[in-house]
Amino acid sequence: MLVAAYLSLAVLLASCLGLELWACGARPPGPPGGNPAFVRFQRGFFRVYFPALAADWLQAPYLYKLYRHYRFLEGQIAILYVCGLASAVLFGLVSGPLADRLGRRRACVLSSLTAAACCLTKLSRDYFVLLLGRALGGLASALLGSAFEAWYVHEHLERHDFPPDWVPATFARAAFWNHVLAVGAGLAAEAAAGGLGLGPAAPFVAAVPLLALAGGLALRDWDESHGRPRPFSRTCLGGLRCVLADRRVLLLGTVQALFESVVYIFVFLWTPVLDPHGAPLGVVFSGFMAAGLLGASLYRAATSKRYHLQPVHLLSLAVLLVVFSLLMLSFSTSPGQERPAESLVAFLLIELACGLYFPSVGFLRRKVIPEAERAGVLNWFRVPLHLLACLGLLVLHGSDGGTGTCHMFAACAGVMGLALLAVVGLFTLVRHDAEMRVVPPAGEPCAPEL
């Protein structure tokens, strides 16, 4: 497994580099890249945002391993994960209004503080302290996913008066470097776990200085801003009306809930599947992130002027890849017949599919969901997503180890089969809709650079 993990990481990184270099044409002159004021503002945002992202990724490879190191049973670990998911959905519903009322800069600082507190709870072996840490982690993740973006959009549009068309350029660049940071974080977590003498808790300790840096830079360099939050009941009712009125929104929400709930279960299961076979968890995690980066690069190449594939086609491909991978896993994890190398390949295919899925579903969401109702609609998408993931983890909690894992992958394959039906329905609705098509730019964009 050691050789397979390093070899797969090397192959994936080489593939990513080759694809990015192949796709990198001459960058069109002029804004936003040619505007010095915009570049300074963008870098000021990245100086705070990237350390927070890196700290978040550092915690991912060794979370399950840490709980096993503390000798908790798989069922107890499943409850910890369910607590984190429940916290994420609860705080996700209120994180936007909270940032508007508290102040967006303060919300970003609060995200760093709660994430640091969550990391420090990992030094305790007390189960209830770890449960508290999972709840804090849900709040930190919700704010990381909303407050930073809200601060940037307000500053970009209101304070600096840059064109709205430049906002996607920043988040496209952030998404690219987010993958790069995740790959580096996996390798750093592997080094920390083996080199700091703290075992699986070391990556969590290493994340604290990064969170302190992010919070400190936000306090020093960023201006405060507030919003006018829409009443929560009105947001939810408006979102529900949008979901029920447009079949495209309903189908897209179904795909998102089914696909992402399966991804959450995969996040829980990959460590107990590979760790008993001596897999270096940080390196494996870096391989996953490299596969996701390759998927995102393939998305950009496929939707380019040269190939002109559409996001709905790539969304269908992503769902098919996950169905195939889960069927592979249902056989490769059979008790007494485990094939860890085959399981690793299947996990990498799932991450590759995620790299195709997230930009595809993000594009389709922007097209079918009105901006005014987007927060409410996404709240309705999140609820079944997290409920399905929690249900799957609770089923694992009541099952025995190997057989339960094998059956869970088979059940997830069935869930993704339902997602495939929803994708087919969505494709039927939008295949002749010109608004749902990507219009490639006149010049092919270069890979994002800082």
> For every residue of 236-269, which 3-state class applies, written as one string?
HHHHHHHHHHCHHHHHHHHHHHHHHHHHHHHHHH
Chain centroid to Cα 20, Å, comes to 21
pLDDT of residue 227: 77
pLDDT at 18: 85
Residue 251 has pLDDT above 50, yes or no: yes
Confidence bin at 167 (pLDDT 50/70/90): confident
pLDDT band with cut points at 50, 70 and 90 for residue 443 = very low
CA–CA separation, 259 vs 304, rounded Å? Answer: 25
Q: Is the dihedral of CA 404, 410, 416, 421 positive or negative?
A: negative
Strands (E) across 320-411 are located at none
CB-count exposure of residue 87 (10 Å: 0-12, 13-18, 19+)? buried
Query: What is the gyration radius of the CA atoms in the chain, in angstroms?
Result: 21
Mean pLDDT of 368-386: 74
pLDDT: which is higher, 242 or 124: 124
pLDDT of residue 26: 38
> All domains of the chain, ordered by start, with CATH?
41-227 (1.20.1250.20), 230-433 (1.20.1250.20)
What integer is the mean pLDDT of 422-436? 82
Residues 90-118 have a mean pLDDT of 89
Say how many Å lie between the first and final Cα of the chain, rounded: 35
Task: Using the predicted structure, report yes or no on whether residue 35 has a pLDDT greater than 90.
Answer: no
| Average pLDDT estimate for 419-427 | 91
Q: Which residue has the higher pLDDT, 181 or 236?
A: 181
pLDDT at 361 over 50: yes
The pLDDT assigned to 446 comes to: 44
Lowest mean pLDDT among 175-184, 360-369, 406-415: 360-369
**What is the b/e burial string over 361-386, where b = at least 16 CB atoms within 10 angstroms of the residue's CB?**
bebbbebbbeeebbbbbbbbbbebbb
The per-residue pLDDT for 379 is: 72
- The pLDDT value recorded for residue 31 is 54
Could you tell me what percent of the chain has a pLDDT over 70? 89
User: pLDDT digit string (tens) for 44-80?
Assistant: 999 999 999 999 999 999 999 999 999 998 888 988 9
User: With 90 as the cut, is the pLDDT of residue 244 above it?
Assistant: no
Confidence of residue 448 (pLDDT cuts 50, 70, 90): very low
Please tell me the predicted confidence (pLDDT) of residue 400: 54
Distance in angstroms (rounded) separating the CA atoms of residues 403 and 330: 10
Count Cβ neighbours within 10 Å for each residue of 285-315 and write b for 16 or more, e otherwise: bbbbbbbbbbbbbbbbbbbbeeeebbbbbbb
pLDDT of residue 89: 79
Average of pLDDT values for 111-129? 95
What does pLDDT average to over the chain? 85
* Rounded-to-integer distance, Cα 369 and Cα 436, Å: 12
Question: Where does residue 233 rank: exposed (0-12), middle (13-18), buried (19+ CB within 10 A)?
Answer: exposed
The pLDDT of residue 405 is 84
Per the structure block, which two tokens stand in for 197?
Answer: 């003498």
pTM for the full model? 0.88
Q: Is the pLDDT confidence value at 90 over 90? A: no
Q: Residue 92: pLDDT above 70?
A: yes
Q: How confident is the model at residue 329 (pLDDT cuts 50, 70, 90)?
A: very high
Distance separating alpha carbons of residues 65 and 392, to the nearest angstrom: 20
* pLDDT of 391 above 90: no
335-348 tens-digit pLDDT: 888 899 999 999 99
pLDDT above 90 covers a percentage of the chain that reads 46
Residue pair 139/172 in contact (Cβ under 8 Å)? The answer is: no
Query: Would the pLDDT of 399 be above 70?
Result: no
pLDDT at 231: 66
- Examine the pLDDT at 352 and tell me if it is beyond 90: yes
How high is the pLDDT of residue 3?
86
- At 147-163, the pLDDT tens digits run 898 899 989 988 888 88
Choose between 447 and 48: higher pLDDT: 48
18-27, 186-195, 441-450: least confidently modelled range: 441-450
Q: 5-32: per-residue pLDDT in tens?
A: 889 989 998 998 888 777 665 344 445 6
Whether residue 386 is predicted with pLDDT greater than 70 in this model: the reply is: yes
Residue 420, number of CB atoms within 10 A of its CB: 18
